């Protein structure tokens, strides 16, 4: 289960691949739990995040609209917005900022088969708080040699990935606000590539990478339809490369 991924290296890629305005600053290239990253939602959702007093009304309107609209055919003029946020979900019911800091690193990933029932992610899933997380690559440890070898996994064609995620907005009693998100994962025990990574004997998983044509449908799908998007990404569309460390470049004769 990945706890490290790469954000997009070029501002224009956000517009070209996801039809969103790029951020003013790209931020950190390598993202770890509790670091600031970005997620994508529709403009109406972005407004609800920034103005929580109208969030419920907006959700009610969208729910009625979605009930009459086919999931497979979202409106073509739907605008997407890039939201800066912390990687590591902070549920709305967390009592304090200190508690949020403790929980967030453990809530960077949500298993898609239990997201609708797990305490930490249930409200976000059932509330339709879905997002897309843009990334260039994610990292997994290859432990087959007995030593952890960080491995970079990206698309074969070099294009960015849009990973399905959930978002949350937390506000403390003192007014502090934390907007956060997590990645959704799918089981990868039988995946031709990803089954190699992670702890031996443990359940294998991979981010739920969305097909480009499904972005708007994912954001607008009703909760009971959302799990239809939780699928493995084809192994032949992914490329895995071990990450070379500086120490690997030092000739053995110069060590110790």
Per residue in 170-209, pLDDT (tens digit) is 999 999 999 999 999 999 999 999 999 988 888 999 999 9
In this prediction, residue 245 carries a pLDDT of 67
Per residue in 11-61, pLDDT (tens digit) is 999 999 999 999 999 999 999 999 999 999 999 999 999 876 544 444 444
**Residue 179: CB partners within 8 Å, gap ≥ 6?**
49, 83, 84, 85, 86, 167, 168, 169, 170
Question: Quick count: other Cβ atoms within 10 Å of Cβ 117?
Answer: 10
Tokens 């502090």 sit on residue: 176
Tokens 């294998």 sit on residue: 204
Give the whole-angstrom CA distance, residue 164 versus residue 45. 16
pLDDT tops 90 at residue 71: no
SS (H, E, C) 31-89: ECCCCEEEEEEEHHHHHHHHCHHHHHHHHHHHHHHHHHCCCCCCCCCCCEEEEEEEECC
pLDDT tops 60 at residue 246: no
Per residue in 74-124, pLDDT (tens digit) is 444 479 999 999 999 999 999 999 999 999 999 999 999 999 999 999 999
Report the SS3 class of residue 5.
strand
The residues that bridge with 167 in the sheet, in sequence order, are 181
pLDDT tops 50 at residue 231: yes
In this prediction, residue 251 carries a pLDDT of 43
Give the whole-angstrom CA distance, residue 158 versus residue 16. 13
Task: Find the helix or strand (DSSP H, E) in which 187 lies.
Answer: strand 177-187
31: left (phi over 0), alpha (psi -120 to 50) or beta: beta
Helices (H) and strands (E) in the chain, counts: 7, 13
Give the whole-angstrom CA distance, residue 133 versus residue 183. 7
Give the whole-angstrom CA distance, residue 183 versus residue 72. 23
Q: Mean of the pLDDT values across residues 147-164?
A: 96
Residue 140 · residue 153 · CB < 8 Å:
yes
pTM for this one?
A: 0.86
Give the whole-angstrom CA distance, residue 122 versus residue 162. 22
Q: Mean of the pLDDT values across residues 120-132?
A: 97
**Residue 118: CB partners within 8 Å, gap ≥ 6?**
110, 111
Q: Mean of the pLDDT values across residues 204-220?
A: 97
Report the SS3 class of residue 107.
helix
Which CATH number describes the domain made up of 5-245? Answer: 3.90.1680.10
Nearest-10 crossing angle of helices 55-68, 43-50: 160
């Amino acid at each position: 289960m990945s706890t490290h991924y790469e954000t997009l290296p070029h501002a224009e890629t956000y517009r070209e691949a996801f039809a969103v305005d790029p951020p003013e600053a790209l931020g950190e290239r390598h993202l770890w739990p509790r670091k600031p990253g970005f997620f994508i939602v529709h403009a109406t959702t972005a407004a609800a995040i920034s103005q929580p007093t109208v969030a419920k009304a907006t959700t009610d309107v969208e729910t009625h609209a979605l009930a009459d609209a086919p999931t497979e055919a979202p409106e073509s003029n739907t605008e997407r917005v890039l939201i800066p946020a912390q990687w590591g979900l902070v549920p709305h019911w967390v009592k304090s900022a200190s508690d949020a800091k403790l929980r967030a690193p453990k809530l960077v990933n949500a298993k898609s088969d239990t997201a609708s029932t797990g305490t930490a992610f249930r409200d976000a899933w059932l509330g339709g708080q879905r997002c897309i997380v843009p990334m260039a690559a994610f990292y997994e440890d290859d432990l087959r040699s007995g030593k952890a070898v960080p491995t970079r996994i990206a698309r074969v064609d070099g294009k960015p990935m849009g990973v399905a995620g959930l978002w949350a907005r937390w506000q403390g009693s003192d007014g502090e606000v934390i907007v956060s998100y997590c990645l959704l994962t799918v089981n990868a025990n039988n995946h031709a590539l990803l089954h190699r990574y992670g702890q031996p004997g443990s359940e294998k998983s991979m981010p739920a990478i969305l097909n480009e044509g499904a972005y708007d449908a994912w954001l607008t799908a009703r909760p009971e339809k959302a799990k239809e998007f939780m699928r493995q990404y084809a192994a032949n569309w992914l490329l895995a490369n071990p990450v070379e460390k500086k120490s690997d470049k030092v000739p053995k004769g110069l060590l110790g």
